[in-house]
Structure 1
Amino acid sequence: MKNVVARGRTALVERLTRRPPPIDSLSVLGAVPIPMVLLDQNNGFRYANQAAEQFLGMSMLQLAQIQLDALLPLDNPLFHIIAQVRSTETTISDHDLNFESPRLQKRHISVYVTSLVEEPGCVLLTLQDVSAARALDRQIAYRGAARSVSGMAAILAHEVKNPLSGIRGAAQLLEPNVLPQDRELTDLIRDEVDRIRDLVDRMEVFGEKPVDRRPVNIHRVLEHVRRLAQSGVASGVRISETYDPSLPPVWGNRDQLVQVLFNLVKNAAEAIDGTPNGRERAEIGLTTAYQHGMRLAIAGSSQRVHLPLVVTVRDNGPGISDDIRPHLFEAFVTSKS
């Protein structure tokens, strides 16, 4: 019995003191999903894990035959960081570096460079491409801002419309009981309430309510805008039309298209002061055309949309001043006093 207990204790001690088999460090580095590169004292490639091979676009067999300056120009900040690490034997990190050369095109790279005590002159590079994270941050920020604006617009529309309905109803109740000379004032109240309500309705385009889009004849929209302008803001301006009749319908919202184009024509009419540029008569030109290859980026996304239909609103006024031109597409920028 004593022999059995002794053998059991011996087996337990051996099991507890037994060391696991050594792990190959290169196998561990190879499994890391972050690009890691080991450079010798001459910046030659001694090791690159699989993630680094994908990052650099070359296999380890190819990298072993070149040095770092074959991939990057010597004036790249990475060489200065490597030199600092070798001289100080510390770890240095830097962010938002660009690797641009005929062989390598990487932007927004974070770099961590560490010296190896066991291998004098050798440095370990850890590379992280943060461009995808930056793009995701931009999208999140854009969507957050859009939600804030849409929420504010919805609250404002709700809070403003309710008292407007009461004011308009009160004006209608007062109208039969006022003197004829005062009835003009009740009409003015109703008209102004309707105008404010229309402004609020236009603010609701910032909300998340889907916009009703359908095929729209852009030339009918432009003709409607021309009639509106010539009966009001551009009554003394000649409006010429040059349309391409072969254009297909535009997928959009008719009312929004009318509003955008009318604002452009209104701005053009206000920009023409008297006789523009010495000409005899102010003129606004409305033009449609097909322009192949026109692509625009969507805000908050890397997607680009093909937009071949071009609508041009052109006036023969003095043009945009140089101080306004750099800020032309910023909100609320104007040269009006």
Structure 2
Amino acid sequence: MSEPDRRRHLPRTVQGGPEATELIAALGVAVLVIDASNKITDANVSAETLLNMARSAIVGSDVARTIRLADMAARFDIWQSPNPVAAYDIEIHAGRSATIKADLIIAPLIDREGWRVVSIHGQSQAHKIGVRRTTGGTQSAMGAAAILAHEIKNPLSGIRGAAQLLEAGAGESGAALTQLICNEVDRIAALIDRMQDFTTERELECEPENIYPLLDRAAELAAAGFADKVQIVRRYDPSLPPALCNRDALVQIMINLLKNAAEALDGSKKPSIRIETAFRHGVSVMLGGTKGSAILPIEILVIDNGPGVPESIQEHLFNPFISGKRDGQGLGLALVDKLARDMNGFVQYVRDGNSGETTFRVLLPMGVSV
């Protein structure tokens, strides 16, 4: 197909002379243009590289045959939806390439019914922002927690008991030392308790819930304690439907995110945290196995005006034991990620360089309204 012919095949939204064509070609992300019959009408150089196919072989092919879901049991046809779709962290067979994990962003073209633009992020952005449908890091923490609970926690009670006996017969200086032992034992025991949160693999019982009382509860707890010097602003979408979630898990997620934000604001002149909600269309994740897909339209944002997370740890932010704080244990955000996944949702980290704000975004399934 000649260059003039190729431009005539593009919808008006993509046309615009050499500028539009060159822009698509220069993008570092694989981009496909598909028509109403799911035929690929254009592909850029990045798409040729990702699919390991020449453009001549890509154009004219059926997109559902060129990009195939590896998990066929999921029965989630992303190519039939007329709405925008964002499918994160899914396994696909891409052209002649081996199976890869990718994010697919499918956006309809406004002035050409049925036509869509598909961008394929082969190196999954989901991993960079903390969206993980696998449990690699958390599984490691679960194993470590079980070992530590068995090997350390039980002897701690004996150490504490011995220190208390010594304290009864010790002088003033000795009492201070034995109290120090007790305090350290309690601190270690509390750490083990937190790690044991990772040892459970049972599914959370989720029900349709009005999330606002839960968000308010977490905000009030934060304002009365660790965030008492921080302004907490709530901006809620009053039309938001119920979310399918676990009450206790959602409250814990919010407390951990608010605590993380408050700690990031330590030393800020005008510390501020916003809690926002919205309804978002077209965000989906694959659940694996025969569970199919989950549509996640319930959005909860925790936004602060702190300095954000060091770039060096952003990719591993939700892994256990990763923290940007000197005395941080790296368990709070890991637990947020686990609880969100246990509710078939996910959590993202976004840093807006223009506004200077940090956002943690939680997406949850919608519950059936009663």
Q: TM-score if structure 1 supplies the norm length?
A: 0.48
Higher helix share: 1
Higher relative contact order (CA 8 A, sep 6+): 2
Q: Which is higher, the Rg of structure 1 or of structure 2?
A: 1
Q: TM-score if structure 2 supplies the norm length?
A: 0.44
